[in-house]
């Protein structure tokens, strides 16, 4: 019966048009970035950096490299937006519409209902990240050849990979991006369990993420960056360097797991004690 209930939640989730906004916007953003790199001299700086380090630039100005470049702004800005939009809707929208009252006239426990909804949000996050990776490579491949992967973040990352290695790192980076997506979705889901409007849950979650991000980047807090939520959300970037800092990634995964459990427990406690009224 659990799987039937999960299937029902997925039907509800994917039956709504707004669920697909994220997919559409990702494709749009990726297409724009690919076109900008293809038809402008935006890649000139990258070529100069590669040649300055004795690499054959043409080999690395590839679909994988462009897909990775477009990944950064999307992962930082758009992904949190769309997963929190869905996470914020999961409970609060049903409460607002009145369907929650219909559900809770049935013999399902509130905890189980929340767990099924949260799991649907996790699956949505997985699909969103998988589509993000696939459409990133696909839209870049329309304009750029297959080749090596170059990742450059001034002062932080300088990585070059062959095509196979590059694809491997690109793929596992998306695996870790899923952890980020699930956590931000879980944060919005937690707010959604309170007696708030869906939009408020989304805005609260995004505010929490962006506030953490801003504080983390203030030089004063540089030494204690690892205490910030967003520091651990960026674990996916660790997959784009060689060797992968597994210890750091592992500790971030544990911290995110703890955050997820905490968010769920706070949300379910708030939901448990709530009165559901028309």
What whole-number distance in Å separates Cα of residue 229 and Cα of residue 256? 8
Q: In the complex with other proteins, which residue's Cβ is closer, 88 or 166?
A: 88
Q: Which stretch binds other proteins (CB under 8 A): 10-18, 29-37, 137-145, 186-194?
A: 10-18
Shortest Å distance, C-beta 9 to other proteins: 8
Shortest Å distance, C-beta 24 to other proteins: 17
Q: In the complex with other proteins, which residue's Cβ is closer, 16 or 226?
A: 16
Q: Which stretch binds other proteins (CB under 8 A): 46-54, 99-107, 134-142, 228-236?
A: 99-107
Please tell me whether residue 98 binds other proteins under the rule CB under 8 A: yes
In this chain, which of 53, 58, 109, 262 binds other proteins, going by CB under 8 A?
109
Please tell me whether residue 111 binds other proteins under the rule CB under 8 A: no
Please tell me whether residue 108 binds other proteins under the rule CB under 8 A: yes
Shortest Å distance, C-beta 261 to other proteins: 24
Please tell me whether residue 260 binds other proteins under the rule CB under 8 A: no
What whole-number distance in Å separates Cα of residue 150 and Cα of residue 55? 10
Please tell me whether residue 103 binds other proteins under the rule CB under 8 A: yes
């Amino acid at each position: 019966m659990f799987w039937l209930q999960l299937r029902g939640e997925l039907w509800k989730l994917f039956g709504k048009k707004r669920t697909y906004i994220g997919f559409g916007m990702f494709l749009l953003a990726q297409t724009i970035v690919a076109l900008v790199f293809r038809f402008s001299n935006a890649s000139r700086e990258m070529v100069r950096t590669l040649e300055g380090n004795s690499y054959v630039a043409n080999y690395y100005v590839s679909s994988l490299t462009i897909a990775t470049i477009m990944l950064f702004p999307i992962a930082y800005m758009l992904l949190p937006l769309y997963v929190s939009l869905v996470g914020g809707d999961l409970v609060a929208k049903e409460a607002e519409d009145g369907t929650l009252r219909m559900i809770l006239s049935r013999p399902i426990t509130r905890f189980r209902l929340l767990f099924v909804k949260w799991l649907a949000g996790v699956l949505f996050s997985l699909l969103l990240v998988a589509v993000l990776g696939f459409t990133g490579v696909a839209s870049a491949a329309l304009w750029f050849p297959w080749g090596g992967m170059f990742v450059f973040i001034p002062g932080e990352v300088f990585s070059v990979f062959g095509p196979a290695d590059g694809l491997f790192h690109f793929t596992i980076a998306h695996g870790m991006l899923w952890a980020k997506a699930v956590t931000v979705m879980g944060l919005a889901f937690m707010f959604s369990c309170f007696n708030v409007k869906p939009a408020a849950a989304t805005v609260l979650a995004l505010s929490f993420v962006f506030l953490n991000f801003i504080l983390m980047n203030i030089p004063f807090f540089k030494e204690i960056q690892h205490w910030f939520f967003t520091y651990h959300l960026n674990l996916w970037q660790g997959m784009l360097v060689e060797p992968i800092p597994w210890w750091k990634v592992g500790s971030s995964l544990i911290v995110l797991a703890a955050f997820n459990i905490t968010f769920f427990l706070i949300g379910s406690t708030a939901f448990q004690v709530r009165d559901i009224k028309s």
